[in-house]
Structure 1
Amino acid sequence: MSNKNVCNSQSGNAVYGLGLIGAAVFYISQATTFWMGVLGFLKALVWPAFLVYEALRYIYM
């Protein structure tokens, strides 16, 4: 058996979690119907994809 020291950083998960909460609050507060709120929550789950897409679109233009 080999003894390896493994150091895991969980700060990325914390940033994603706070971003998820913030995005969910934003999208749900903008919703006018229940189903738009559900869609807002689903958008909040994938907010990093929107962020990366817009950043790359800005960089390459």
Structure 2
Amino acid sequence: MAERERRVSVVERNGVWGFFFLLAYIGAAIYFISHSDGTFGAVVLGLLQAIVWPVYLIYHALGSLGV
């Protein structure tokens, strides 16, 4: 006889956080690009900085705390 079919239900509950991080990335990209000189290299650098902006935040926060 045929094997029984199993159904697996996967519930993803991280949709709100994904949307929050998307908005944070877009905001950071707008910020870094608006502070660039507008050349292609500066815009690409601004997009890369928007990806890692939390690293800048933590680095400067720890630096101001003297750690």
TM-score normalised over the length of structure 1: 0.69
Judged with a 3 Å threshold, the aligned counterparts in structure 2 of structure 1 residues 22 and 11 are, in CA distance, closer, same or farther, namely same
* Partner residue, 2:58: 52
Structure 1 portions without partners, runs of 5+: 1-7
Which structure features the higher share of helix residues? 1
Q: What are the Cα deviations for residues 11-49 of structure 1, in whole angstroms up to 9, with x where unaligned?
A: 544433222111100111222111101000000000000
Which protein has the larger Cα radius of gyration, Structure 1 or Structure 2? 2
Judged with a 3 Å threshold, the aligned counterparts in structure 2 of structure 1 residues 28 and 16 are, in CA distance, closer, same or farther, namely same
Structure 1 vs Structure 2 CA RMSD:
2.4
TM-score normalised over the length of structure 2: 0.64
Q: Where in structure 1 do 4 or more consecutive aligned residues deviate above 6 Å? A: none
Q: Alignment identity in percent?
A: 40
* Partner residue, 2:31: 26
